[in-house]
Amino acid sequence: MFSQQIFLQGLGLGASLIMAIGAQNTHVIRTGVRGEHVLATVLACIVVDVALIALGMAGLGSVIESSPPLLALARYGGAAFLAWYGWRCWASSLRGGAALALGEQDSRTSLKRALATVLALSLLNPHVYLDTVVLLGAVGSSLAGEQRGSFAAGAMAASVLWFSALGLGARRFAPVLGRPAVWRMIEAATGSLMLVLAVLLLRGS
């Protein structure tokens, strides 16, 4: 039985987890600004996110949480990934090479490579499993059986709405986001957030 209240809870929690600027979101913005395979990139992000939410609701999160080695891999691997990506963003910002210059736009990316990048940023980041599979799965599993579908639908809807808005919004505001100074600020902000998340993850927050 569908519950609007539970749906909104799933929507809110899903949005709060997915909206933090990270590797996946930065890639979607970059794709939108460059105008390369925007729809395919957005769809790939949505499919991966929906699949991970479904796995979490099916109990994979409990398996990870009950296994110290898997939980440690997700925590320390996620922290390492976030620290690496944060440093990469900061280095790019300081070099000034993060801007989507006209010369870079002339170098087109194939659809295969674009999708491979999305999958790598989505599935090789252990932090994603802690958020999407473990946390959402734990909250969803605590609900009554008839409410879990509404919660999962809300979390999945958050993914659909966010990635669609992010990709299309980046495409719409490409003239602004593509400016060197603006893109350097985006990279610096992203790098700072990733480093903070890495520290919080190591502290078990």
C-alpha–C-alpha distance, residues 143 and 160, integer Å? 23
Region 99-106 average pLDDT? 46
Write down the domain spans for the chain: 4-85+107-175
Q: What is the pLDDT of residue 155?
A: 95
Most confident of 45-54, 65-74, 89-98, 193-202: 45-54
Count Cβ atoms below 10 Å from residue 83 Cβ, excluding itself: 18
The model's confidence at residue 51, banded by pLDDT at 50, 70 and 90, is very high
Arithmetic mean of pLDDT over the chain: 84
Nearest to 147 by CA among 4, 15, 17, 16: 4
Instruction: Name the phi and psi angles at 197, rounded to 5.
Output: -65, -35
Q: What is the pLDDT of residue 48?
A: 93
Q: What is the pLDDT of residue 102?
A: 39
Region 144-150 average pLDDT? 88
C-alpha–C-alpha distance, residues 92 and 82, integer Å? 15
pLDDT at residue 97 above 70? no
C-alpha–C-alpha distance, residues 194 and 155, integer Å? 22
pLDDT in tens, 5-37: 999 999 999 998 888 767 788 889 888 888 889
pTM of the predicted protein model: 0.80
71 class by beta-carbon count within 10 Å (0-12 exposed, 13-18 middle, 19+ buried): middle
Q: Which of 84-93, 146-155, 160-169 has the lowest mean pLDDT?
A: 84-93
Contact by Cβ (8 Å): 9, 154: yes
Region 118-132 average pLDDT? 84
